[in-house]
Each structure stands twice: as C-alpha cells, then as structure tokens.
C-alpha cells in the first residue's frame, strides 16, 4: 500500500522539513490570528450595555442634598439632581432653546441656562425665558451603590 | 503523533464505521482539464457559508432584534466589543463575496452543462440553495436597522405586494403587518437565524450527498475531445491534492476578507426613522440591482397587466425555466442544441450585468 | 273637566314660556323683537348668543337699560332708563362702567384687570378720542360689540395670533392713516419677522403689536425705552448693551437702541455676518476704517468666524467617524461645549468688546480642537487595524506558500 507521504519523497530531507515548517507554522499562526480575535470578542466589554439607553450617573451618597452633577449620557450631557426633599431627578442637560448646557441653581432650586437666562424646574418643565419645550426626563433607579439613569421606554 | 491519530481513527471506526467513509473519500477524484478551475467555486461558496455561520453566531451574542436596540447593538459591536468591528465587517463582506461565488458557481455549472443526467437534482437543490442565499442577503440586510436598510426593505417587500391575488397576503407575511416596523425586524431576524439556516442545512446535505455520490461532471466538450482521442483523461485525487489547492483558495479568501474589513469597514449608517422621507438614490444591494432596474424601465402597463407585476411575473417565469433547464436540455454529448442553451445563458448573464450597470448611469 | 282645563292651560303657558326665542328662559322683549328684524338692528340679537357677557348671564338691558318685560316700544323709553347705543366718544366710559369697577367685576371674574379705562386714557387712541377724533380705536373696535369673545379664545380678534391683523385693519389702511402721517407698513414688516414666525408656530408668548406697544395704553415706546421693552425678554442683550459704549452713545445721538441694528417691526433672525466689516455688516453703517469701532468689529467677527469654522471642521470629522462606526460620544460632548461658546459669544457681541468675546471664543476653540483631535484619533484607529491585518496577512501568505510548496513536493515524485 503506497502512501503519498512515503519516506521515498523527492528533494533533500532538509527541504522537506522547511516545507513542513512553513505549512505547519503558517497554518497554526494564521489559525491563532483568527482565534485570538474570536476569543477576545466573546468576553463582554467592561461597559456591558450600550450607553445610549442607560448609564450609571453617580454613586449613592456622592451628592449632598440640594446639589447636582453633570454626567455623560450617550454623547450628550445630563443632569442628576438630589433635591432638598432627598429625591433624585435625572434630566437632559441640553437646553431646548439653543442646546447650551444647563445647570442646577442651588439658590433658586431651579435649573438655569446661562446663555439666555432660561429657567426650568427640577422636573424639567420650562418655566421662563426662551426655552420652548421641557427637558427630557429620565427614569432614575438605585441599584446597590449605583444611581442609574435610563431613557424612558 | 501519527500513533495518536491512528488510535483515534480506530476508536471512531469502531463506533461510526468511519473507515468506509475514509476509503470512499480516498477514492474521490477530480478530472483535470482546462475547465478544472471552475470546480473550486462550489467549495469556496461552502467555505464562505461556514464563515457566515461562525461570524453570525458571534454577532448573535450581542445583537438585539428590536427597533429601539438593533442599531445601537450593532454600534456597540462596532465600537465597544473587542474586534467587534472585524467580526461584523467580515460578516457583511463575506455575505457579498458568497453571493458572488455562488453566482459564479451557478453560471459555471450552467455553461459546463454539469446539470445533465444524472445530476438534475444536484442542479435543483443548488438553485434552491441559491434562492435561500438571496433570502439570507435580503433578511440580513435589514437587521442593522439603518436608513438604507429600512427603505431597501420597504421597496423590496412592496414588489411582492404587487402580485395580484397572493400579493396582499405575501406583503403582510413578509412585513408582519402593513408597513415595515419592528414586527418586520423580528420576523426577518427569525428567518435569518432559524428558518433559512434550517432550510439551508437540509438543501446543503442533499446537494453535497449528491455531489459525493455522482462525482464531478466532465464538460461535454471535453468528453468529446477525449472520445476523439485529442485529449487524455487525467484525474487528480481529491485528498490531499485538490483539497490542498482548495485550502489555498480559502486562505486567500480569508486574507481578502480581513483586508476588506480593515481597509473598507462596513458602514454603520444612520438609525432608521420610519417617519422621515426616503433619501434620494435609494436602491437595493448589488445582487438585486438588475431586477430593480428592469422594474424601473417597465411601463406602468404591459398589455393588460400592471407593469410591476409583469416584471415580477417575467422574472418568476425565467427563474422557473432556469431551475427546470436539466429537464429541458436532455441531450447527451455536445451538439448544436448545446450551443443554443449556452446562448441563452450568455443572454441571461449579459442582461444581469447590463441592467446592474445601468442603475449607476 | 275643570282639572283638565287647568292642566291644559298650564301646559300651554309652560309651552309658550319654553318656546320663547333661543337662549333666554326669562322673558326678554329686546331679543324677541330685535331677532325678527333685519340688518344692523337684528344683528345684535343674533350675535349675542356667542358673547362672553351672555355666558356670564347678562342681557341687553344690563348694558343698554330699558325694560325687557315690556313688549311695547315703551321698553326703550329714555325716561324709563333706556341708554341706547353710546356715541363713539362715550364708548370707553360705557364699557368702563362695569370693567373699571373692581368690586363688580369680582363677582364674575376676580382675575380680570380693571385698569383698562385708565390705561386707555394714557394711550394715543384715548387722547385723540378725548380731543374729538372718532376714527381712532375704542373698546368695540378691537373687541367686537355683541360677539365679544374671551382673550384666551383663539377666535377672538385680540387672541395673540390675531392681534396683528386687528391692528392692521386700520394701521395698514393708507387711506385712513393718511391724515395722521404715520407709516402703514408695520404689519407687513412684522409678518416677515422672526417674532411672527414663532407666534404662528404656536408659541403664544411671542411678541405681537401689543407686547411692545401696550394694548389698552397703546403708545409707541419712546426712544429711550426701546431697549427696556426689548430687554424684558432679551434680558442679557439689553443689560450688556446698556453698559456698552453704544448704550450711552446711542442715547446721546438720539438713536433708538436695539432698533438701530435690529429694526423695530421687521426683526429678522440675525446672522454672524451682521458683525464685522463685510457687506452684510451693520457696524459699517456708522463706523469707517481707522476708527476704534471698526477695529473692534473686525476683531469680533474674526473670532466668531474662527470659532464657527473650527466647530464645523470638528463636526465634519466626527460625523465621518460615526458613519464608519467609530465611538466618538466623548468627543461629541466636548464639541457641545464649543457650540455653547458660540451661543454665548453671540450674546457677548453686544458688549462690543473684543476682549469679552475673546473670553468666550478662546475656550470654545480649545474644545473644538480637542473634539477634532479625538475625531482624527478615531480615524487613526483604523491604521492600527491595518497593522494587525498586516500581521495576519503575513501568516496567511506563509500558509499559502506552505500549501503550494507541499503540493509541488507531493506531485513532483512519480505518480503510482
């Protein structure tokens, strides 16, 4: 029974070894270069969810009462307010007038836009000045140590 | 190492009777002649299909099939998941490459008359596979839920609706409703990852079984030359000679896919907005362009038929004739009639290429 | 028999009472007579059904006097208290009899103001009417006579979106305005303004004629008060303007503040090209090359243009990166700061101080530059990928070469 990979091969044994090395090495190396990305792919990234739907806004006890924090929600700024009544409110910080970033005024207990003096309440409702529409309101959940802001369904 | 391999083979043989299969494969041969190169394309298509399944399974780990999340999940894969850009771009490019190689395979089989007796069913199962592959392309295209995909699906399913009688039902079945909505996405996802893979597996099993049973066909022109003694009948063992050559092709395809993914990554586009007007210049993917252009050129009424319906009817009839070719071209050997069928094939190919090119005019 | 007659009789009376015309349950001879008349005499009876006074329960005699229970012409006897239709010059007092009486109005609508009559007296209309000009507007000209609707009713002539048309009825009529020698193009100009657009788009707080001119005390604001009027909404602009060199200078020169650059009625959406020394600039109306104002205008417009350009470049590169699927949300956040800087800079333009504008455009430029950098970095990431690709291609070529050589080696020996 003659086998094609018989010892009676043509060419010096050295050349045969090189060919085997090239073939084996090439195949193994290329396989590694395919499997490596696949293995890294199946491990979930550190941010398990797309940040355009929900995001961790702050840690519990990070904010004092009647204070606020700007956090990133997707590609836009958002505002987390801890009111004087110890409630958390999360609203978009993009002013509905000309998209400036609004801020929480601790003296007024209201949300103020420095560009044209627009005013909103802590629920995002536009109260005075140029803003034509209220600010988008997000749902707030406390999960362990995290305060999570999520887009309303 | 060889001892280990032999031991494993023996172990499998004791349980599966694998030795008989091994013997069979060892005897599989490939005819060598000037058209041998076309024999590679079937295996190439199968290889790319395997790539699709593997990358598709990986994408399934992160994809979400709802309008709220689909686009974002693809964006997530592209930007946050390590090598997600690679997997996704390979999947999209390989899909196109596969449809291309499947088309080459189909036309080469046609022109080399490999569909003749006893290979009629191989042709038929192959054609079903081709339609399944086009179905994969159509359903998969919607899944990223971007503007292009949304409107291409709208137009594509609209064409189904113009068929009188079943049209309305077909439209509702495809869209999961009157319009293209989240219901359509869910449905297309189900088709793409469950229904079509199931059908493809069955068809593929039948197709491959037939190929192995019946061996590789030799084109009638070559057979004639051999009969006349102008050429010698030479063969090459499949294993390992042809397989090694196959592997060169597959490696080259892998290299091409990697290069395409890195240099021409598949675009994300913009998220679909059903209430926005369709952007100018909307058109389907390249493999549907010839149908798209034909329907554009048809007048609103052909004889007593609605123009769009006439076009679809025309393509359906042509498709049916194409599938039935082995039962129409039943002669043995090479003759003038063979040339007529070759001519028809050239016309079909030319029509497809011309119509596709005209879209860009 | 007697009982049946009684029942029949009272049902007839009941029927007659109920069958009395339309909207009154008690006997009202004014309506029952006037509703049968044609033209001007009959219209009040027909209109009054929709009137807000009718809804409040008032009837003809509450304003006009007379006796609604008297079917004869005696109902309109002046001796018996009939006041009739007042002359034009007396209309304000006629309406004011109730509408200036706080304790009376409180019974119907405590929120309604009662200073309309005293306001009207201060208005141009009121003063001319006192001097005998009956062509000017009085209460009924704007509010209607017998079909008066509440101000909050969108069909009312004094509803915010209808005010300009109501004023234009006289003020755009060149024939009737001829003797006063005042222009009649204000309404036409206003309709082209950004205020009119906002109003028709549904924001009823947008300014219309009465917002700046007053309604009952309608008078054009004096030159020195224009900035105050505009400043009630455009707070920052007015404040900065007053403190700027133009504030005092305009007053000195008798120029009408904001109106000088922004116009009074045809107030258009301003563009950055209004600042500077270009063809669309308002600065060069007064300033010429060489003076301090010209130089300031030039510097301000240059800073604005630079920031706009930088913003646009960053925006373009981020859009490209996003389309190809790169992650640039932090860069977008950075760019929004640059956008904010542009908005604030456009306010600061009214200080006319390049230094003030520069205080805003400089950090804006830094933000847009950072965003641009992030965009380029995102696109550069693809270079890294090409390096990885190159490596795997080397392995692939190795494997292909190995395969090819193996084939050659296998097939170069004699076939069995």
DSSP state, residue C225? G
CA torsion sign, B331 to B337 to B342 to B348? negative
A96–chain B nearest CA distance, Å: 21
DSSP state, residue A133? S
Closest CA in chain B for residue C325: B268
Considering only the beta carbons, identify the residue of C385, C386, C403 that sits closest to B247.
C403
Beta carbons of A62 and A149 less than 8 angstroms apart: no
- What are the backbone dihedrals phi and psi of residue A72, each rounded to the nearest 5 degrees, phi first? -90, 125
Tell me: the pLDDT tens digits for B85-108? 899 999 999 999 999 999 999 999
Chain C residues lying within 8 Å of B75, measured CB to CB:
325, 327
In a domain, C214, yes or no: no
CA torsion sign, C377 to C383 to C389 to C390? negative
Mean pLDDT, range B183-209, rounded to an integer: 96
Contacts of B43 (CB under 8 A, 6+ apart): B246, B249, B250
DSSP state, residue B271? B
Contact C339 A99 (CB under 8 A): yes
Fold classified for A54-150: Rieske Iron-sulfur Protein (2.102.10)
Domain ranges of chain B: 17-272
DSSP state, residue A100? P
User: From CA B231, how far away is CA B95, in angstroms rounded?
Assistant: 39
Nearest to A40 by CA among B254, B255, B59, B81: B81
pLDDT of residue A105: 94
Tell me: the pLDDT tens digits for B208-218? 999 988 989 88
Find the CATH number of the domain harbouring C327. 1.20.140
User: From CA A18, how far away is CA A38, in angstroms rounded?
Assistant: 30
pLDDT of residue C90: 92
A67-73 sheet: strands from edge to edge: A54-59, A146-150, A137-143, A88-92, A76-82, A67-73
In a domain, C341, yes or no: yes
Mean pLDDT, range B42-48, rounded to an integer: 96
User: From CA B113, how far away is CA B108, in angstroms rounded?
Assistant: 8
- Look at the block and give the residue holding tokens 């209220």: A134
- Look at the block and give the residue holding tokens 């029509």: B351
C395–chain B nearest CA distance, Å: 10
Chain B residues lying within 8 Å of C403, measured CB to CB:
244-245, 247-248, 251
pLDDT along chain A (153 residues), means of 10: 47 77 88 90 81 83 92 90 93 94 94 94 92 93 90 81
In a domain, C275, yes or no: no
Can you read off the two tokens belonging to residue C306?
């630079």
Q: If you count residue pairs, one on B and one on C, with CB atoms under 8 Å apart, how many are there?
A: 66
Chain C residues lying within 8 Å of B265, measured CB to CB:
324-325, 382
A83–chain C nearest CA distance, Å: 25
- For strands A88-92 and A76-82, give the pairing: antiparallel
Written in H, E and C, the secondary structure of B201-233 is HHHHHHHHHHHHHHCCCCCHHHHHHHHCCCCCC
Cα-Cα-Cα-Cα torsion B124, B130, B131, B133, nearest 10 degrees, comes to: 150
B237–chain C nearest CA distance, Å: 11
pLDDT of residue B191: 96
- What are the backbone dihedrals phi and psi of residue C85, each rounded to the nearest 5 degrees, phi first? -80, 130
DSSP state, residue C259? H
In a domain, C343, yes or no: yes
Tell me: the pLDDT tens digits for C64-76? 988 888 888 888 8
Mean pLDDT, range B115-122, rounded to an integer: 91
* CB proximity B254 to C under 8 Å: yes
Domain ranges of chain A: 11-43, 54-150
Contact C392 A33 (CB under 8 A): yes
How many of the other CB atoms lie within 10 Å of CB of B177? 13
Chain A residues lying within 8 Å of C412, measured CB to CB:
10-11
pLDDT of residue C10: 61
Closest CA in chain C for residue A33: C392
Average pLDDT for chain B: 89
Cα-Cα-Cα-Cα torsion B3, B8, B12, B17, nearest 10 degrees, comes to: -20
Tell me: the pLDDT tens digits for B307-317? 888 888 888 89
In a domain, C303, yes or no: yes
Q: For chain C, 416 residues long, give each residue's pLDDT as a single digit of tens.
A: 567 777 666 666 555 555 545 555 677 888 888 889 888 888 888 888 889 999 989 988 889 988 888 888 888 888 888 888 899 999 999 999 999 999 999 999 899 999 999 999 999 999 999 999 999 999 999 999 999 999 989 999 999 999 999 999 999 999 989 998 888 999 999 999 999 999 998 888 889 999 888 889 888 776 567 778 888 888 899 999 989 999 889 888 888 888 889 988 999 999 999 998 888 899 998 899 898 899 999 999 999 999 999 999 999 999 888 777 677 888 998 999 999 999 999 999 999 999 999 999 999 999 999 999 999 988 887 667 777 888 889 899 989 998 998 888 888 765 55
- A6, A7, A41: which to substitute to probe chain B, counting the most B Cβ within 10 Å? A41
DSSP state, residue B192? I
* CB proximity B79 to C under 8 Å: yes
ipTM score of the complex?
0.81
For residue C318, the SS3 value is: helix
What's the CATH code, domain B17-272?
1.20.810.10
The structure's pTM equals: 0.72
User: From CA B60, how far away is CA B54, in angstroms rounded?
Assistant: 10
- Look at the block and give the residue holding tokens 């009462």: A65
CA A77 to chain centre: 13
pLDDT of residue C75: 83
Q: How many CA atoms lie within 13 A of C301 on its CB side?
A: 20
Give A138's strand partners: A90
Cα-Cα-Cα-Cα torsion B220, B222, B225, B231, nearest 10 degrees, comes to: -160
For residue B235, the SS3 value is: strand
Nearest to A128 by CA among A136, A138, A140, A119: A119
Considering only the beta carbons, identify the residue of A34, A38, A45 that sits closest to B80.
A45
Nearest to B40 by CA among B259, B254, B253: B253
C interface with B, Cβ–Cβ below 8 Å: 322-327, 382, 385-386, 388-389, 392-393, 396-397, 399-400, 403-404, 406-407, 410-411
User: From CA B125, how far away is CA B105, in angstroms rounded?
Assistant: 13
pLDDT of residue B264: 84
* CB proximity B73 to A under 8 Å: yes
Contact A50 B81 (CB under 8 A): no
Contact A27 C402 (CB under 8 A): yes
Subunits close to B (at least 3 CB pairs below 8 A): A, C
In a domain, C107, yes or no: no
Q: If you count residue pairs, one on A and one on B, with CB atoms under 8 Å apart, how many are there?
A: 43
Contact C325 B254 (CB under 8 A): no
* CB proximity C46 to A under 8 Å: no
Which residues span the domain enclosing C309? 295-389
Contact B254 C396 (CB under 8 A): yes
Contact C344 A27 (CB under 8 A): no
C203–chain A nearest CA distance, Å: 8
A12–chain C nearest CA distance, Å: 11
B229 versus C194: the higher-pLDDT residue is C194
CA angle B36, B37, B41 (to 5 degrees): 115
For residue C167, the SS3 value is: helix
User: From CA C264, how far away is CA C259, in angstroms rounded?
Assistant: 5
CA torsion sign, B39 to B42 to B44 to B50? negative
pLDDT of residue C14: 57
Decide if pLDDT at B256 tops 90. Answer: yes
Nearest to C309 by CA among C266, C269, C358, C361: C361
Contacts of A92 (CB under 8 A, 6+ apart): A73, A76, A77, A78, A79, A124, A135, A136, A137, A138
Q: Please state the domain count of chain C.
A: 1
A69–chain C nearest CA distance, Å: 15
- C383, C392, C403, C409: which to substitute to probe chain B, counting the most B Cβ within 10 Å? C403
Contact A38 B58 (CB under 8 A): yes
Contacts of B79 (CB under 8 A, 6+ apart): B85, C325, C326, C327
Q: Which long-range contacts (CB under 8 A, 24 or more apart) does C186-195 make?
A: C186/C265, C187/C265, C189/C263, C189/C265, C189/C266, C190/C164, C190/C265, C190/C266, C191/C164, C192/C266, C192/C268, C193/C265, C193/C266, C193/C267, C193/C268, C194/C267, C194/C268, C194/C269, C195/C267
pLDDT of residue C11: 60
Give B32's strand partners: B234
Subunits close to A (at least 3 CB pairs below 8 A): B, C
């Amino acid at each position: 029974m003659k086998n094609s990979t018989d010892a009676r091969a043509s060419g010096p044994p050295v050349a045969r070894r090189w060919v085997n090395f090239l073939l084996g090495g090439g195949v193994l190396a290329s396989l590694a270069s395919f499997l490596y990305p696949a293995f890294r792919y199946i491990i979930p990234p550190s941010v398990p969810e797309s940040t355009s739907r929900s995001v961790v806004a702050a840690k519990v006890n990070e904010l004092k009462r009647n204070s606020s924090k700007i956090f990133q929600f997707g590609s836009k700024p958002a505002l987390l307010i801890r009111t004087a009544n110890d409630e958390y409110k999360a609203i978009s910080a993009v002013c509905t007038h000309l998209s400036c970033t609004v801020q929480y005024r601790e003296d007024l207990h209201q949300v103020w836009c420095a560009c044209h003096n627009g005013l909103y309440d802590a629920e995002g409702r536009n109260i005075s000045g140029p803003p034509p529409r209220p600010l988008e309101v997000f749902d707030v959940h406390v999960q362990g140590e995290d305060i999570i802001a999520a887009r309303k369904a | 190492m060889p001892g280990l391999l032999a031991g494993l083979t023996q172990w499998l043989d004791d349980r599966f009777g694998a030795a008989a299969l091994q013997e069979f494969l060892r005897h599989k041969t490939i005819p060598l002649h000037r058209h041998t190169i076309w024999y590679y394309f079937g295996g190439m298509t199968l290889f790319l299909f395997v790539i699709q399944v593997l990358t598709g399974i990986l994408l399934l780990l992160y994809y979400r099939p709802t309008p709220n999340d689909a686009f974002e999940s693809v964006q997530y894969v592209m930007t946050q998941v390590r090598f997600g850009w690679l997997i996704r771009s390979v999947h999209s490019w390989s899909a196109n490459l596969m449809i291309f190689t499947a088309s080459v395979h189909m036309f080469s089989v046609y022109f080399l008359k490999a569909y003749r007796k006893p290979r009629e069913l191989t042709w038929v199962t192959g054609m079903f596979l081709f339609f399944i592959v086009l179905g994969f392309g159509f359903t998969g295209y919607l899944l990223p839920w971007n503007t292009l995909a949304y409107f291409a699906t709208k137009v594509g399913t609209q064409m189904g609706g113009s068929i009188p009688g079943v049209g309305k039902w077909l439209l509702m079945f495809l869209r999961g409703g009157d319009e293209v909505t989240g219901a359509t996405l869910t449905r297309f996802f189900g088709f793409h990852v469950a229904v079509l893979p199931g059908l493809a597996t069955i068809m593929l099993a039948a197709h491959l079984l037939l190929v192995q049973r019946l061996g590789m066909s030799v084109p009638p022109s070559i057979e004639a030359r051999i009969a006349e003694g102008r050429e010698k009948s030479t063969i090459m063992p499949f294993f390992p000679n042809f397989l090694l050559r196959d592997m060169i092709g597959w490696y080259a395809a892998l290299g091409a896919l990697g290069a395409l993914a890195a240099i021409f990554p598949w675009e994300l586009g913009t998220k679909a907005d059903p209430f926005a007007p369709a952007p100018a210049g909307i058109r389907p993917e390249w493999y549907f362009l010839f149908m798209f252009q034909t329907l554009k050129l048809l007048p609103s009424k052909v004889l007593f038929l609605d123009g769009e319906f006439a076009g679809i009817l025309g393509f359906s009839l042509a498709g049916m004739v194409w599938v039935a070719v082995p039962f129409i071209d039943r002669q043995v050997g090479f003759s003038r009639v063979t040339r007529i069928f070759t001519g028809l094939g050239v016309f079909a190919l030319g029509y497809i290429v011309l119509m596709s090119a005209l879209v860009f005019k | 028999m007697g009982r049946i007659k009684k029942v029949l009789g009272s049902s007839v009376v009941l029927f007659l009472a109920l069958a009395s015309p339309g909207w009154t349950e008690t006997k009202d001879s004014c309506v029952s007579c006037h509703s049968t008349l044609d033209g001007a005499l009959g219209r009040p009876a027909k209109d009054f059904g929709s009137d807000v006074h009718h809804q409040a329960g008032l009837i003809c005699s509450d304003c006009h006097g007379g006796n609604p229970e008297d079917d004869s012409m005696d109902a309109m006897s002046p001796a018996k208290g009939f006041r009739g239709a007042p002359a034009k010059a007396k209309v304000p007092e006629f309406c004011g009899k109730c509408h200036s009486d706080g304790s009376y109005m409180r019974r119907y609508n405590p929120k309604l103001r009662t200073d309309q009559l005293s306001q009207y007296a201060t208005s141009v209309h009121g003063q001319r009417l006192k001097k005998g000009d009956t062509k000017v507007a009085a209460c009924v000209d704007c509010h209607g006579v017998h079909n008066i609707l509440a101000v909050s009713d969108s069909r009312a002539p004094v509803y915010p979106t209808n005010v300009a048309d109501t004023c234009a009825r006289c003020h755009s009529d060149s024939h009737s305005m001829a003797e006063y020698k005042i222009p009649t193009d204000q309404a036409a100009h206003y309709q082209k303004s950004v205020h009119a657009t906002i109003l028709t788009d549904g924001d009823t707080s947008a300014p219309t004629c009465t917002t700046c001119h007053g309604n009952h005390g309608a008078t054009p604001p004096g030159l020195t008060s224009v900035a105050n009027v505009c400043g009630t909404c455009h707070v920052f602009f007015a404040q900065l303007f007053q403190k700027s060199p133009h504030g005092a200078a305009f007053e000195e020169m008798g120029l009408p503040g904001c109106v000088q650059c922004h116009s009074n009625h045809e107030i258009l959406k301003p563009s950055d090209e209004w600042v500077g020394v270009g063809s669309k600039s308002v600065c060069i109306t007064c300033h010429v090359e060489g003076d301090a104002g010209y130089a300031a205008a030039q510097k301000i417009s240059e800073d604005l243009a630079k920031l706009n350009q930088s913003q646009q470049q960053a925006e373009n590169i981020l859009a490209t990166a996003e389309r190809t699927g790169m992650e640039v949300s932090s860069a977008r956040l950075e760019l929004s700061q640059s956008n904010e800087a542009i908005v604030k800079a456009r306010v600061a333009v009214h200080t006319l101080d390049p230094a003030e504008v520069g205080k805003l455009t400089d950090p804006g430029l830094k933000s847009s530059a950072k965003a641009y950098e992030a965009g380029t970095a995102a696109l550069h990431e693809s270079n890294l990928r090409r390096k990885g690709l190159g490596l795997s291609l080397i392995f692939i070529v190795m494997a292909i070469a190995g395969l090819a050589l193996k084939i050659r080696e296998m097939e170069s020996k004699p076939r069995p």
